[in-house]
Amino acid sequence: MLKNIDKKYVLNVYQRNYVNFKRGKNSTLFDDKGRDYIDFTSGIGVTSVGHSNTRLSNAISEQVNRLIHTSNLYLIEPQAKLAKKIAELCGQDVGIFFANSGAEANEGAIKLARKYGEKKFENKHYKIITLEHSFHGRTLATLKATGQKSFHKSDFAPYLDGFSYVQNIDDIYCAIDDKTVAIMIELVQGEGGVQQFNKNEIQKLAKYLKDKKILLIVDEVQTGVYRTGEFLASNLYNIKPDIITLAKGLASGVPIGAVLTTHKDLLEVGDHGSTFGGNFLSTRASLEVLSILESYKNSGELDEICIYFETKLKELLLEFPKMFKKIVGLGLMRGLRCFNTVDLTLLIDNAFKQGVLVLKSQRDTLRFLPALTITKIEVDEGFKRLKNAFSKVS
Ligand SMILES: *Cc1c(COP(=O)(O)O)cnc(C)c1O
């Protein structure tokens, strides 16, 4: 049986549900038994234009029939075009480095900050402050950048030096010392309970850091690429960070990561690199994804579905007042904060049995990250199934 093969040969680091998905169309998945599921997870915020999107599949097949990879030693046409497109959409004069994942993009951001600290100050600045509920990745450096203590297991020690954590945005000011080079934050903490920060608070911080010449790094690995309704959450918050990282939704499932920075001349030849990063396959895919999503945003359809999804969450909140406290998050990055009497795992299992996929964040938040192209029909069907699932629990 496939499950046994998986258990025997794949390292057991994931809590895996052994459903065998065979195909998908937009936000609907089909398993090997022909059952369908409404997908409110989009592969954890990745398949931004839905499953088997025709435009994306065609662009990818056309590209792979010509070239997949040549290396960064030669010009890569879609990479250059993608960099230009991302810079235009983010509205800042940025230079871009392409990597393959969120953690790798954040590694690049940390390296940039370290070099900035070396070049711009007489006594090297190298310390980076992050938040206690943050998540920045699973490599050794990004694990240490992640503020949640549960990620700093002694098993993997020693970790990199130079990271410290604060609980709230307000605590950052006191934590800054004469070696601080950067602050790294998410604007909506995806793994930290889908918690969004207050706009004024973030704008005040951004201004303070700019005056002090301390870098603001915004990890938009999850919030980026229209997830919160704008191309970047930074656009929504109206701030201009020094460094922004992207990954998850950028190529709708083809692995890619990106570091955007306004400090365009900091890194020089040989300072950083990646074998796969920004190859023909991933950058061609991403160009198509951005083209699809840009028109979707400009036509008003994205804003409409964001509002529609929120309405449906409000209905659920009203229908199950003993289960859910409030709605959190922005755009199509949403959560329902549960009372601590609620068994989230049971809710998610019941939802699955009714044919709808949802996620959790922390111990108390039911999390929704649907494809940005999800239809109202799929949203309706998903919420109908959720109501059935939750009625069986309450
Ligand atoms: C998912 C995520 C990462 C890590 O991305 P990977 O592609 O898994 O390495 C980093 N930061 C944030 C905010 C994320 O949501």
Domain ranges of the chain: 14-45+300-393, 56-298
Mutate to test the pocket of ligand 1, among 222, 228, 282, 365 (most ligand atoms within 8 A of CB): 222
CATH architecture of 14-45+300-393: Alpha-Beta Complex (3.90)
**pLDDT of 392 strictly over 90:** no
- Indicate the average pLDDT of the chain: 97
Per-residue confidence (pLDDT) for residue 211, from 0 to 100: 98
d(CA 125, CA 123): 6
* 48, 372 Cβ separation under 8 angstroms: yes
Average confidence (pLDDT) over 193-201: 97
Q: How many angstroms separate the alpha carbon of residue 8 from the centre of ligand 1?
A: 27
Q: What is the pLDDT of residues 309-340, one digit of tens each?
A: 999 999 999 999 999 999 999 999 999 999 99
Q: What is the pLDDT of residues 26-63, one digit of tens each?
A: 999 999 999 999 999 999 999 999 999 999 999 999 99
Mutate to test the pocket of ligand 1, among 221, 333, 360, 369 (most ligand atoms within 8 A of CB): 221
Q: Closest residue (by CA) to atom 10 of ligand 1?
A: 136
Q: Closest residue (by CA) to atom 15 of ligand 1?
A: 222
Encode 322-366 in three state secondary structure. Answer: CCEEEEEEECCEEEEEECCCCCHHHHHHHHHHCCEECEEECCCEE
Q: Please give the number of the atom of ligand 1 that sits closest to the Cα of 191.
A: 15
Q: Closest residue (by CA) to atom 5 of ligand 1?
A: 102
What three-state secondary structure class fits 22?
Answer: strand
**pLDDT of 394 strictly over 80:** no
pLDDT band at 393 (very low <50, low <70, confident <90, very high): confident
Q: Please give the number of the atom of ligand 1 that sits closest to the Cα of 257.
A: 7
- Give the percent of the chain with pLDDT over 70: 100
Ordered DSSP codes for 285-324: HHHHHHHHHHHHHHTTHHHHHHHHHHHHHHHHHHH-TTTE
Per-residue confidence (pLDDT) for residue 2, from 0 to 100: 96
**pLDDT of 126 strictly over 90:** yes
Mutate to test the pocket of ligand 1, among 100, 133, 136, 227 (most ligand atoms within 8 A of CB): 136
Q: Please give the number of the atom of ligand 1 that sits closest to the Cα of 190.
A: 15
CA distances from 67 to 74, 101, 253, 287 (A): 13, 21, 19, 15
Q: How many angstroms separate the alpha carbon of residue 42 from the centre of ligand 1?
A: 14
Alpha helix locations (H) across 156-213? 172-175, 199-212
Q: What is the pLDDT of residues 260-282, one digit of tens each?
A: 999 999 999 999 999 999 999 99
Q: Please give the number of the atom of ligand 1 that sits closest to the Cα of 186.
A: 13
* 219, 247 Cβ separation under 8 angstroms: no
Q: Please give the number of the atom of ligand 1 that sits closest to the Cα of 103.
A: 9
Task: Report the pocket of ligand 1 as residue ranges, CB < 6 Å.
Answer: 101-103, 106, 135-137, 186, 190, 219, 221-222, 247-248
CATH of segment(s) 56-298: 3.40.640.10
CB atoms within 10 A of CB 93: 9
Query: Position of tokens 């065998």?
Result: 20
- The DSSP code for 97 is E
